[in-house]
Structure 1
Amino acid sequence: MYRKIVFPVDLTHIDQLARALQTAIDLALHYKAEICFLGVTGTAPSAIARTPHDYENKLAAFASEQGLAHGLTTSFKACLSHDPTIDTDKTLLAAIEELGGDLVVMQTHAPQALDYVWAGHGDTIAARSQASVFLVR
């Protein structure tokens, strides 16, 4: 049913992605699907990487670790954004389409008051992506 699962990942909060990651792994194993780990980074140094190339290497290592640990086919795509705080949704949507993902698995949080004013990334991806979207709390 699914052949490519796209898993948007924020490497600075990897410890908070356990439930969504396990969901993506379970689905990939069940459907014998690939998981593509998708990350967005800026050009400025961040807490996780000093350069976009450094970020790409860390995302590649994470994808490889997951593939080896769970016997999965994995890939990765690091997207560069001039302003990730504003462009993340647009960048994710474009990458999901480019990758040909047919399922997106994302971590989300319980709705808070501001979410009714500004939608979270998961809300936006679910509303605008052509792929099926599985939001995990």
Structure 2
Amino acid sequence: MFSKIMTPVDLAHLDKLQRALDCAADLASHYGADLVYVGVTAETPGALGHNPEEYAARLEAFAAQQAETHGIVASAHAVVAHDPATDLDETLFKAIDEIGADLVVMQSHVPNLVDYIWPSNGGKLCGHAKVSVMVVRG
């Protein structure tokens, strides 16, 4: 049913993404799909890398560890954005097309009052992506 699953990850907050990471790995195993972990970074140095190449290496190591842990085929797709916080939605839409994903599995929070004014990233993807999107609450 699905052949390429995309899972956005924030390497700084992996502890808050565990439900979506487990769900994505389970679906990849069930369908024999490739799982692509997408991470977005800036050109500027940050806690996860001094440059985009260093960040990409960390993301690739994470994907390799997930592949081994879950017995799946997994890869990493690092994307550089001018301002990852404000450009995240558009960057994720582009990543869907770049990797050819047919399912996105992502973590989101339980909606609150602010989400009626500014939709969450998961809400935006659900409403506008051309592929199936599974939002995992947690």
Fold match (TM-score > 0.5): yes
Tell whether 2:69 aligns with 1:69.
Answer: yes
CA distance in 1, matches of 2:42, 2:80: 6
What whole-Å deviation, never above 9, does each CA across 1:53-98 have from its counterpart, x for those lacking one?
A: 1110000000000011111001111000011121110011011112
CA distance in 1, matches of 2:45, 2:110: 30
The unaligned stretches of length 5 or more in structure 2 are none
> What's the secondary structure of 2:37's corresponding residue?
strand
TM-score normalised per structure 2: 0.96
CA distance in 2, matches of 1:91, 1:50: 21
Alignment of 1:70-85 (within 5 A): 70-85=70-85
Residue type of the alignment partner of 1:72: I
TM-score normalised per structure 1: 0.97
Give the paired residue count. 137
Structure 1 position 112, deviation (Å) = 1.5
Structure 1 position 108, deviation (Å) = 0.3
Tell whether 2:4 aligns with 1:9.
Answer: no
Which residue of the partner structure matches residue 123 of structure 2?
123
Which residue of the partner structure matches residue 49 of structure 1?
49
Residue type of the alignment partner of 2:47: A
The unaligned stretches of length 5 or more in structure 1 are none
Which residue of the partner structure matches residue 33 of structure 1?
33
Residue type of the alignment partner of 1:6: M
CA distance in 2, matches of 1:67, 1:36: 10
> What's the secondary structure of 2:2's corresponding residue?
coil
> What's the secondary structure of 1:68's corresponding residue?
helix
CA distance in 2, matches of 1:51, 1:39: 14
> What's the secondary structure of 1:130's corresponding residue?
coil
Tell whether 2:96 aligns with 1:102.
Answer: no
Segments of 4+ moved more than 6 angstroms: none
User: Could you tell me the percent identity over the aligned residues?
Assistant: 46
Structure 1 position 47, deviation (Å) = 2.1
Residue type of the alignment partner of 1:100: G
CA distance in 1, matches of 2:116, 2:49: 32
